[in-house]
Amino acid sequence: MKFKDNIPIYVQIEDYIFLELAQGKLKAGDKLPSVRALAVELTVNVNTVQRALRELTAQGYIYSKRGEGNFVTEDEALLEAAKRKLLVSELAAFVSRMEKLGVERDKIGRILEQYLQETDRGE
């Protein structure tokens, strides 16, 4: 994973795990890799991973079982809300970029619809 300089690493790790949840790569009840394994995989300090996991725990996306590790919440509604939150965030970024390009809001939907039709036809 390549980290950006302008965002704290623990936040980027949160986002990485959050994306895995939203994409369904991590499912309800799944066990996460150990803190040490994540730190090695991401080439970061163990404390940085622990901070990211604390934040995700505080938000309810993961929980810890003493002696067993960290697990994805079994709250399906919360996981669906996470997916929706990610989708809304991506849409907001897309709309913002389009507006910066001078595209009026009422045209954004038409442009997107046209693009989807073209890609459905394989153009």
Q: Write out pLDDT tens, residues 78-121.
A: 988 888 888 898 899 999 999 999 999 999 999 999 999 998 88
Q: What is the dihedral sign for C-alpha 107, 23, 55, 6?
A: negative
Query: What digits encode the pLDDT tens for the residues 14-24?
Result: 989 988 988 88
Region 1-18 average pLDDT: 91
| Dihedral angle sign, alpha carbons of residues 23, 24, 25, 27 | positive
Per-residue confidence band for 123, with pLDDT thresholds at 50, 70 and 90: low
Could you tell me the residue ranges of all domains in the chain?
Answer: 9-74, 77-120
Encode pLDDT of 29-88 as tens digits.
999 999 999 999 999 999 999 999 999 999 999 999 999 999 999 999 998 888 888 889
Q: How many CB atoms lie within 10 A of CB 62?
A: 23
Please tell me the pTM assigned to this model: 0.73
* Distance of alpha carbon 62 from alpha carbon 49, whole angstroms: 13
Q: Which class would CATH give 9-74?
A: mainly alpha
Residues 105 and 32: their CA atoms lie apart, in Å, by: 41
User: Is the C-alpha dihedral spanning 6, 21, 65, 60 positive or negative?
Assistant: positive
Question: What pLDDT score was predicted for residue 18?
Answer: 86
CA separation for the pair 30, 116 (Å, rounded)? 34
